[in-house]
Chain A
């Protein structure tokens, strides 16, 4: 499903070169639920961004569905991101100007699809996260847990093969965090979703099938 070979990432600021990741080799198989753990600043978010093609590695090679990513040009990767990957962020990143339903439809706007079809898929996704009744609300009218569920609906609406979640429960209290976690587990079990989740919560990590630990930009075995 996803294969990283010899991935390194360095950040160049004025004088200092920071090594965020070095020589990462890993693989995520179809249908897996993987967590990435590590102290803050260890490079786990950078790793997730590279998996999601949001960031370009300094060295190394990524394969998504056996396609080697050779170009990070806008037009070459936007389509891939759109169809194959769904993102869930720690701070939700919903668009405050848009209603819940329009937020969820967003990924579908960049596909060839009728408005009616978009609406149907968005409603389906919202139903899956248990927010069918909130489609006409604006994000600020919802609780944090509800907002994250909208974000999850947005991530799954386009039926991507890979869900990437960057500390999805990080901004939520433990009760709401648990709800979100249950939702991800359901998606994994019922819909066979492949999920990679960054977390620094040991409890959450335990609930996944496999945990990858990152320390100082390197994988720890």
Chain B
């Protein structure tokens, strides 16, 4: 039976090329866009580089300092003093790491200016994030404590500066400081916001120590626990500390701090929806908005396809009448038309997947997002496949139901 449905569907598609083309075009484009979006979100939420340990950590990189009446407010990243006096007192994280965030710096080689991104970190940073070293190693606690001028660079920079020869032991000059290279890591995608950089050095090599007196700054903190379920505990402890046990001796009279330890998803939600006087990330709002967006995005072409299907099926009302007269039951007809619809979505979906693979490749090659890799992994494919089936079912079910209720006599007359 199914074979016959498929066969009929195939013949109908071939005989109505224009309709088939319009349908395929709509479906494949919609799915391609959804797949690309999914793949990008996937790339952010489930990194493949050093941040692949992201299930085990949360990031604190936002801080709002204000007074009781909110008349004076600072909103931005964290100052070193705030971290030292508050975050370092947290007991629930197994590892706490800080880094300066990525900033840009100019390197010169043969009088050519090379803009590079640069990050100062502690030694814990290398324990939490899973960097793959091509040669050499990361800097350790001792080197950070002593403020040694050592640096880790990525593979691209190593090749640019030293070609095929080893970078280890070579020196690197920038910002009027000279660093000795001790390690080379793989390139890190820009999507991995807490890991990406071209150069990493100990934070203690800052030219001045004035940063140690600031509650505001450009720092970010990563809090780690080997048991992911403990991460919420860390967030709770942190918020509790901010509310009840805050150390803040601010010159401008700021006495209240809002901040939070967020994972990747919470981070998007926080950026999109949370207000600055909140400890919450607003994930529920984000999830709702995302679901609504996807539904609307799927619904529009679905409605379009329902419309196309209804008029096409009405064209085929004589066929429906004949099938009914010769013994097709309503459920068999519904099955037939849903199979047709799912089949065309399936073909459209496969084309959509091919288009998205092609476009993602194009985005990767373009260098729009440095070192980005958007794989079509099984999860993305699975999501895409589910989307396709849902799409096919929605767009086939309504017209199928509508026409299966036709009385055979009126169907044979042309379906009033």
Contact = CB atoms under 8 A, between A and B. Distances in A.
Contacts of A107: 326-327
Contacts of A87: 322, 325-326
A106 B323 contact: yes
Contact of A98 (B8, B324, B331): B8
B288 interface: no
A74 B329 contact: yes
A97 B15 contact: yes
B409 interface: yes
A89 interface: yes
A49 interface: yes
B412 A93 contact: yes
B86 interface: no
Nearest to B336: A109
Contact of B327 (A81, A93, A97): A81
Contact of B322 (A78, A106, A115): A106
Contact of B329 (A75, A95, A99, A102): A75
A79 interface: yes
B1 A109 contact: yes
Nearest to A89: B412
Contacts of A55: 407, 409
A149 interface: no
A168 interface: no
Interface in A1-36: none
Nearest to B16: A97
B408 A79 contact: no
A95 B319 contact: yes
Interface string A37-77: 00000000000010010110000000000000000001100
Contacts of A94: 322
B291 interface: no
B254 to A, nearest CB: 74
Contacts, number: 71
A95 B322 CA distance: 8
A110 B270 CA distance: 58
A54 B325 contact: yes
A79 B325 contact: no
A54 B322 contact: no
Contacts of B4: 109, 115
A97 B409 contact: no
Contacts of A83: 327
A115 B16 CA distance: 26
A110 B412 contact: no
A110 B321 contact: no
Given A93-B322, A110-B332, A79 B12 contact: no
Interface string B1-36: 101100110011001100000000000000000000
Q: Which of A93, A154, A158 has the most CB of B within 10 A?
A: A93
A54 B326 contact: no
A130 interface: no
B15 A78 contact: no
A55 B332 CA distance: 20
A87 B314 CA distance: 21
A54 B408 contact: yes
Interface string A99-127: 10010001101110001000000000000
A102 B319 CA distance: 13
Interface in B358-416: 407-409, 412
A71 to B, nearest CB: 14
B330 interface: yes
A82 interface: yes
B326 A81 contact: yes
Contacts of A52: 325
B204 interface: no
Nearest to A78: B329
Nearest to A107: B326
Contact of B321 (A86, A93, A111): A93
Nearest to A54: B408
Nearest to B320: A95
B38 interface: no
Contacts of B161: none
A158 B325 CA distance: 13
A52 B321 CA distance: 13
Contact of A82 (B321, B322, B327, B330): B327
Given A55-B409, A109-B4, A82 B11 contact: no
A109 B12 CA distance: 17
Q: For the complex of A and B, list the 8 residue pairs with the smallest distance between their C-beta atoms, beginning with the closest.
A: A82-B327, A107-B326, A110-B327, A78-B329, A97-B15, A54-B408, A95-B319, A93-B322
26 contacts: A49-B409, A52-B325, A54-B408, A54-B409, A55-B407, A74-B330, A75-B329, A78-B328, A79-B327, A81-B324, A81-B325, A81-B326, A83-B327, A87-B322, A93-B321, A93-B412, A95-B322, A97-B15, A97-B319, A98-B11, A102-B7, A107-B326, A109-B1, A109-B328, A115-B3, A115-B4
Given A54-B412, A154-B326, 11 more contacts: A54-B324, A54-B409, A78-B329, A81-B327, A89-B412, A93-B412, A94-B322, A95-B322, A98-B8, A107-B327, A109-B4
